[in-house]
Amino acid sequence: MISNIGTSSYYQIQSSSIKSVQAQPEADLSMSTINTSKTDSVNISDAAKEMSNIEQDIASRYDVTNMTESERVSMANELFDNGLITQRQHSVMSLPFQNFLAEKTGTMDTYDPNERFNYLQQRRDQLSFTKSSGASTQEMELDEGIVSILENLNKYRHG
């Protein structure tokens, strides 16, 4: 899925079968119902297909469940450069948080920039906290968007 809110379902093709039953007037009970079937489809633009291909390419190179901080920052940059995330999402996703935290807590001597972590789970946990803490609608939408992006990347990578 594309992460921009307006294009979040760019690659989904929707089809549905609609059966409607139309009751006939009581005076004509010999024709009790008429069944009709209709299928709707959505055409996907070439631009949307290209965005999907870019997202799949990024997902093939980054495992959001097992990444380093530098990989996370690089991934965020690629997503932003390709128009797949907003500037606000990029700001959150590219913040070198672990490095910042180590500097502020005086633990730089134990900070390992190559340590791998589950970024998807980290962002899911953040979303749960955001929802439970009574955060603003904007904060919740930002966190929901980031989790959605990461879940889609994970789905592309792991099927």
What is the number of domains present in the chain? 1
pLDDT of residue 141: 96
Task: Compute the average pLDDT of residues 22-51.
Answer: 61
For residue 60, being part of any structural domain is answered with yes
What kind and span of H or E run contains 79? Answer: helix 69-81
Tell me the pLDDT tens digit for each residue of 54-109. Answer: 999 999 999 999 999 999 999 999 999 999 999 999 999 998 877 777 787 888 77
Residue type, 96: P
Angstrom distances, CA of residue 106 to CA of 74, 95, 111: 25, 18, 10
Question: Looking at the domain assignment, is residue 87 inside a domain?
Answer: yes
**Rounded to whole angstroms, how far apart are CA atoms 56 and 130?**
28
Q: Say if 30 falls within a structural domain.
A: no
What pLDDT does residue 149 have? 96
Mean pLDDT of the chain: 79
Q: Is residue 35 part of a domain?
A: no
Judge whether residue 43 has pLDDT over 70. yes
Residue 154 lies in a domain: yes
Q: Which of 123, 122, 4 is nearest to 55 (CA)?
A: 4
pLDDT tens-place string over residues 106-122: 887 777 878 999 999 99
